[in-house]
Amino acid sequence: MTEDAQGRNRKRRRIALILGAVLFVLAGLLIPPWISISRYKSGITRLISTSLGRPVTLSSVELRLLPRPGFVLTDLTVAEDPAYGAEPVLHANTVTASIRLWTLWRGRMEIGRISVDEASLNIVRASPGNWNLNSLLRTATGNAGNGNRTSGGAARLPELVATDSRVNIKSGVEKLPWSLLDTDLSFWQEDSGEWQVRLKGQPARTDIVLESGDAGNLRMAANMRRAPTLGQMPVHVDLEWSEAQMGQLARLITGSDPGWRGDVTGQLQLEGTPDAATVKTRLRATGVHRAEFAPAEPLDFDANCGFQFHWNMRAVEKLVCDSPLGKGLVHLTGEMPGAGAPPEFALELDRVPAAAGLGVLRTVRNTLTPDLEAQGTVSGRLEYKQAEKTGPQKSGTALRKKKSSAPEQNALTGSLTVDGLGLTGAGLSQPLQLPRIVLAPAPPAADSSLALAGTVAVPAGGATPLSITMRLALEGYQATVRGAASLKWARDLAHVTGLAEASALDHLAGDPILVDLAAQGRWQPDMAVATSSAQADELSGTVALHNANWKADYLANPVEISQATLHIENGQLIWDPLLFSYGPVKGTASLSFPSTCSTPPCHPQFHLQFGDLNASTVEAAFLGAQGPNTLLSSVLARLHPEQAPSWPELDGTVKANSLALGAVTLTKPAIAVAVHSDHAEFTAIDAAVLGGRVQGTGSMEWSGTNRAKPAYTLQAQFHQLSAQAVGKLLGESWSGGAWNADGKLELTGFSGAELAGSATGTLHFDWRHGAISDAAAETETVNHAGFRASAHWVAKVAVPAALARFDEWSGDAAIQNNAITLGANQVMSGTRKQTVGGTITLGEPAKMQFAMPGDAAATP
């Protein structure tokens, strides 16, 4: 054949192939709409149902020839086994079912692949070991064992492929919050009797918002072979949970974030059958720390475990776990026989750094400071093995007595030894060194919890060592501290342990204290109720002080404390009693810090109690020499927000047996005070005075140039004052009924002269059935040293006739320029109404001068 003829033949063949391809494509596009396959709908439904072993429903079926022959199924629903609920096990809006072409030549039709996208799959656990997928696997292996045929024809299980789907997990009829999102799942038969499973998805929780991917990615590859029962089915599983962030992983599992950070990867390999499987696991964590800080050396670990697992007995055999930790090693072995038999474990620690234990404790708790460092090692061996029962127990009084007198045998044996434990950092004035600590199994408790206990005597700067007893269990701890300790040592220990009550020891100095404290708590508080800032610790007991002094930043001088006891209970701190002195002023105080606050703001409460006070004594203690540079001015200057630390927020009362103010004595004075950072409020003032009572309110704040002086505002009501006592105060002879008044006063300054000179205000008074005599009155004064001067006579004062005797005298007065000036007033005598004028000059003593009034006829 010539070359030209061969070229023409090749050209004809290419044209024929192109025409055939075009015709095939046109057929795939034009023929399906003209072919009605509704009559095949029931057959396809029956075919899928037989393959999956579940009832199947479809809305519609369409034929598709490209890219490969198959069917497009709409609204596919695979019903659930009634034993696991009524919700469908699988639902997909659109499903593609591809046909095995070679089965068409044999006169039957088989579905080779079922592909779903954005489907919803429910995995249900009805009881331990019973899952709704069990029957699907039995159907698959059964069909494989029967040559993939059923009585109705071929029933070969097709390859199942799901992409971008969701896997929900249910417990009975209850849908659990956990699911897998963006899941890709494949399930197919590799060869006769062998099945392959591939799964990839992102774990998620439906009741909280998780950042995409932060909970890690789950991947699984498994294969299984046919067996008479699922328990005998040979299985190989490789499972990996990678790229999980610890905080999000904890939120996924528990629903809350405990504040852990780091990256976690877990791997599991299973080989064998469910009844006898060899399992190897590996758990790696890097950069483990709390969210509040990133330590210089984060806690990392790499734990590898291996064991034999028996599903039917729920038993674990030959458990061996090893994990290097720092320069030490953790080795765990054990047996869990199942069937009610007690487990056995052995734990060995070989020079595990104490820093690793501190890292674990810092990770689960947020109260330890980030710069705290630990030295030392932990070594030892612990074994757990319950004693075997020896025959049936007999009844009888003698036997019961014998049994009750003998202690129960401890299932935990061995010990752990902590050598060279030292703590540095965390603001410690010097390294804190502790003697060797031996932790041995504690006697069995009423709650049957296992624990290690140890006691250590620590020299703490007192006359005798401090005794510390510890009880450490898996769920939490208990500790008692008794003995004497220096204030510095106790303060360091309190801050190291992160106790919220540690601030109670700040600013204290003096003799060693006596402590009797008990603490207990959980290593990790209940995440359902606790927060990162609220740990489940309980501290109770007392701390006694003697011969100490307290110096706060906002006080000019220290407060001398002769005796004080701090009571701690359920998080509440109460200093009571507290015997103190500030210069010559002595008193008793109590101070309480609330543990909880139902209606904020909740401030610490204080109560001050003094005996008999004299103004001159208080002046000597707080004023010193009169002037702006006095001790009181320096104390009050510390209230100034621009110059010194602010006062703490406090609420309380100040009381005294009596307070002598010159010729006036207040009996049982009591003031309710609310102290704020830059001002104070006197919410209630009450005292007996001049035969009656004074009540009122007031405040103190800063005013003047650069807000350099304290400004006072007082509002007071005087009830039933003795007219004779008021007159004597003014150097006059008064008599008659009770004297009542109310007024408002504003004054500024430090010294008495400043206060009197700046005083401004108003006064309204009312006096019924009174009389003022124009005879000279005897009076006495009190000097600054606190001694009474000899009596003397004040010059005779002219008194208006209207005031010689009257029925009622009421009016107003103005306080200004170091004087009280009478304003509008009325003197009623029968039906006669008169007005008087006068001025009281403030001083020592005060002087009163009347202006002779004019008469005015009363209106009938």
Cα–chain center distance at 480 = 24
For the chain, the helix, strand and coil percentages under 3-state DSSP, each to the nearest 5: 20, 50, 30
CB atoms < 10 A from the CB of 340, how many? 5
Bridge partners, residue 596, by sequence:
none
Per-residue model confidence as pLDDT tens digits over 140-184 = 555 544 444 444 444 456 788 889 999 998 888 888 888 888 999
In terms of phi and psi (left: phi > 0; alpha: psi -120 to 50; beta: otherwise), the region of 233 is beta
Helix (H) or strand (E) holding 756: helix 752-758
CA atoms within 13 A on the CB side of 110: 19
650-661 and 605-614 beta bridge pairing? parallel
Three-state secondary-structure class, residue 627: coil
- Cα–Cα distance between 728 and 27 in angstroms, integer? 126
- Cα–Cα distance between 451 and 478 in angstroms, integer? 10
296 exposure class (CB count in 10 Å sphere: 0-12, 13-18, 19+): exposed
Pick the closest to residue 184 from 218, 215, 210, 216 (CA basis): 218
Mean pLDDT by 10 residues, the chain (860 residues): 66 64 52 52 75 80 71 85 84 81 57 83 80 67 47 57 89 85 86 83 84 83 83 89 86 80 91 92 86 71 92 89 89 89 93 87 73 89 77 45 47 92 80 89 76 91 90 89 90 73 74 92 60 61 91 76 89 88 88 75 88 74 45 46 66 92 86 87 94 94 65 93 89 90 88 76 95 62 39 58 92 91 92 90 78 45
Answer for the pair 452, 440: CB distance below 8 angstroms, yes or no.
yes
Alpha carbon distances (Å) from 143 to 21, 46, 447, 586: 38, 15, 53, 97
- Cα–Cα distance between 726 and 41 in angstroms, integer? 112
**What pLDDT sits at residue 762?**
95
- Cα–Cα distance between 317 and 306 in angstroms, integer? 9
Instruction: Give the gyration radius of the chain's Cα atoms.
Output: 46
- Cα–Cα distance between 214 and 670 in angstroms, integer? 61
CB atoms < 10 A from the CB of 615, how many? 19
- Cα–Cα distance between 497 and 374 in angstroms, integer? 13
In 465-507, the DSSP E strands lie at 466-473, 476-485
Tokens found for residue 697: 């309110």
Tokens found for residue 145: 């064992």
- Cα–Cα distance between 814 and 816 in angstroms, integer? 6
- Cα–Cα distance between 163 and 182 in angstroms, integer? 7
CB atoms < 10 A from the CB of 192, how many? 11
**What pLDDT sits at residue 704?**
56
- End-to-end CA distance of the chain: give it in Å, rounded: 157
**What pLDDT sits at residue 25?**
53
Answer for the pair 604, 576: CB distance below 8 angstroms, yes or no.
no
836 exposure class (CB count in 10 Å sphere: 0-12, 13-18, 19+): buried
**What pLDDT sits at residue 129?**
64
Question: Tokens 């103004």 sit at which residue?
Answer: 615
- Cα–Cα distance between 50 and 140 in angstroms, integer? 10
pTM reported for the whole predicted model: 0.68
**What pLDDT sits at residue 154?**
40
Answer for the pair 781, 663: CB distance below 8 angstroms, yes or no.
yes
- Cα–Cα distance between 164 and 255 in angstroms, integer? 25
**What pLDDT sits at residue 108?**
60
Q: Which residues contact 16 (CB under 8 A, 6 or more apart)?
A: none
**What pLDDT sits at residue 718?**
95
